[in-house]
Amino acid sequence: MQTDALVNELTATLPSYPMEELKLLSKGLRQQGKLVFDFGTGDPTLPTWEPIRQAVSRNIPEVSQYPSVLGSDELRAAHGDYLQRRFKLAINDDLAILPAQGCKEAIFHMALSLVGRAGGRRKILYPDPGYPVYRSSALFAGGIPCPITLQPEDNYLLKPWRLPREQTEGCAALWVNYPHNPTGALADEAYWRQLLAWCHQEDVILLADDCYVDLYDPVLDQGSSGLRPMTPLCFSHDRVVAFMSLSKRSGLTGYRAGFMAGDARILKPHARARANFGLGIPSFIQAGAVSAWGDDTHVEVRKKIFAERMQLAGTALMEWGLLEAIPQATFYLWCRVPASAKGDDLAFCRRLAQEGIIASPSRWLSEGISGYFRLALVPDSEGIRQALPLLKRCLL
Ligand SMILES: Cc1ncc(COP(=O)(O)O)c(C=O)c1O
């Protein structure tokens, strides 16, 4: 029997999820007894901040009940306090909050409420390279995925006002992600204002994947560069939804905790839709999330650690001509493959794997961009120091 007789064509033809491929690659190398330096997935390995773990264990209930999709009062208050502290945003009738099991599911399920809006708009625009779920969520929701290639000469900023009309016509929503995975690119206030003006003029919902908004070089807290990461909600709530996560801010990828904040006219009906999706957050995870959103000290520690790793690895990669500048946010380095690889990112990543280094080829993080690879600075400084000479061997 043909596979697409049992599952639909979309599921039958979907390529494997890149991060699952990377996990398999890493496991295979370990089974061969290789010392593996895993720069593949942005899944940090630092221990969880102790008060968060205590909050979880203190709150494992004697009787377990279904959680509400709206989250506990304490959780909603913690989200509100965080938005106030970090961005000076106040929750009011225009700005709503909705908890999520991390950004991934929130991104995926958002398309279900937006595709077909405003008289049948089905296009979803998103950055390429970028997070693969922008595309897959559009597809599963019956939308039309429209990748927009980001250019290094634009500092990887997505500029929809430059696109031909045919490309943007019928656009329901647009994804942006600054700080950007995989390039680490940052947006400033002038960019946000121009983007919002375009979205308002074209009646396009702006979806800001802000999951790296708290992972940046602490020098940006002092400087006047205007590049301290912000959410577009700081400039308008009108047709904007931001997606926040504890995965990178607090290193809680396994907890599955985040939230959406934005235009109440979108999030209130979307909350009713989400009640059907089975997305309540377990109560003890909510308790851990309250503790994590309420504290900034552990975030400061993490920011410093990743900024140091970026300097360490970035300096070497710049010296070898693979990187133009060290990004000031995220923990990713988006590097060119060396000339010897002749633009073949997949072949180069296979070569790296022979040395025990796992990296993501650009074609796995994009829709056809070749010649780059991404390093997620998950190994600690010692691991990076050990891996760099092995990586250097692959340049020839
Ligand atoms: C750009 C981007 N968006 C969303 C996610 C998913 O985040 P979460 O762990 O909150 O689901 C990731 C994870 O790496 C990401 O890189």
When pLDDT is averaged across residues 223-230 and rounded to a whole number, the result is: 88
CATH number, position 61 = 3.40.640.10
- Rg of the chain taking only CA atoms, in angstroms: 21
Write out residues with Cβ below 6 Å of ligand 1.
Answer: 42, 102-104, 131, 177, 181, 209, 211, 245, 247, 253, 258
pLDDT score of 225: 81
Three-state SS at 182: coil
Name the residue at shortest CA distance from atom 2 of ligand 1: 131
Q: Are residues 246 and 311 in the same domain?
A: no
Residues with Cβ within 8 Å of 377's Cβ and at least 6 positions away in sequence, in order, are: 39, 306, 309, 310, 313, 331, 332, 333, 384
Judged against a pLDDT cut of 90, whether residue 41 lies above it is answered with no
Q: What is the pLDDT of residue 338?
A: 97
6: burial class by Cβ within 10 Å (0-12, 13-18, 19+)?
Answer: exposed
Task: Give the residue from 276, 293, 310 where a domain finishes.
Answer: 293
Tell me the per-residue pLDDT of 69-82, one tens digit each, with 9 for 90 and over. Answer: 999 999 999 999 99
Distances (CA, A) of 275 to 67, 113, 114, 167, 377: 10, 12, 16, 34, 37
Residue among 22, 207, 247, 360 whose CB has most ligand 1 atoms within 8 A, to mutate: 247
Nearest-atom number in ligand 1 for the CA of 180 is: 1
Beta strands in the chain (DSSP E): 37-38, 95-100, 123-128, 144-149, 171-176, 205-209, 240-245, 258-263, 332-336, 357-358, 360-361, 372-376
**388 alpha carbon to ligand 1 midpoint, in Å?**
26
- 388: CATH: 3.90.1150.10
Residues 323, 270 share a domain: no
pLDDT over 70 at 181, yes or no? yes
Claim to verify: residue 214 and residue 322 sit in the same structural domain: no
In this prediction, residues 230-247 reach a mean pLDDT of 98
Query: What is the chain's mean pLDDT, rounded?
Result: 95
Residues 125 and 249 in one domain: yes
Cα–Cα distance, 313 to 377 (Å, whole number): 8
Residues 55 and 197 in one domain: yes
- What is the arithmetic mean of pLDDT over 311-333? 97
Q: How big is the chain, counted in residues? A: 396
Task: Choose the final residue of a domain: 293, 319, 346.
Answer: 293
pLDDT in tens, 275-287: 999 899 999 999 9
Mutate to test the pocket of ligand 1, among 41, 104, 306 (most ligand atoms within 8 A of CB): 104
Does one domain contain both 21 and 105? no
CA 244 to each of CA 99, 142, 155, 207: distance values in angstroms, whole numbers, following the listed order: 9, 25, 23, 11
Please tell me whether residues 231 and 331 are part of one structural domain. Answer: no
Structural domain count, the chain? 2
The letter for the amino acid at 167 is Q
Ligand 1 center–CA 334 separation, angstroms: 17
Q: Provide the token pair at 185.
A: 């690119």
Please give the Cα distance from 48 to 31 (Å, whole number).
Answer: 27
Q: Is 220 found in the same domain as 120?
A: yes
- Domain range holding 304? 3-47+298-393
Q: Which atom of ligand 1 is nearest to the CA of 246?
A: 10
Same domain flag for 240 and 166: yes
Is the N-terminal amide bond of 129 cis, ω within 30° of 0?
A: yes
Q: From the CA of 211, how far away is ligand 1's center (Å)?
A: 6
| Burial of 15 (C-beta count, 10 Å sphere; 0-12/13-18/19+) | exposed
Most confident of 33-42, 86-95, 257-266: 257-266
The structure's pTM equals 0.96
Domain end residue (candidates: 245, 278, 293): 293
- Do both 242 and 331 map to the same domain? no
* pLDDT confidence of residue 27: 85
Gap between the Cα atoms of 391 and 17, Å rounded: 25
36 in the same domain as 76: no
**Alpha-carbon span 56 to 255, nearest angstrom:** 10
Residue 333, judged by CB atoms within 10 A of its CB (0-12, 13-18, 19+), counts as buried
How many helices (H) and strands (E) the chain has is answered by 17, 12
pLDDT of residue 2: 66
Q: In this model, does residue 369 exceed pLDDT 70? A: yes
Together in a domain, 101 and 178: yes
Q: Which atom of ligand 1 approaches the CA of 107 most closely?
A: 4
- The 8-class DSSP code of residue 329 comes to B
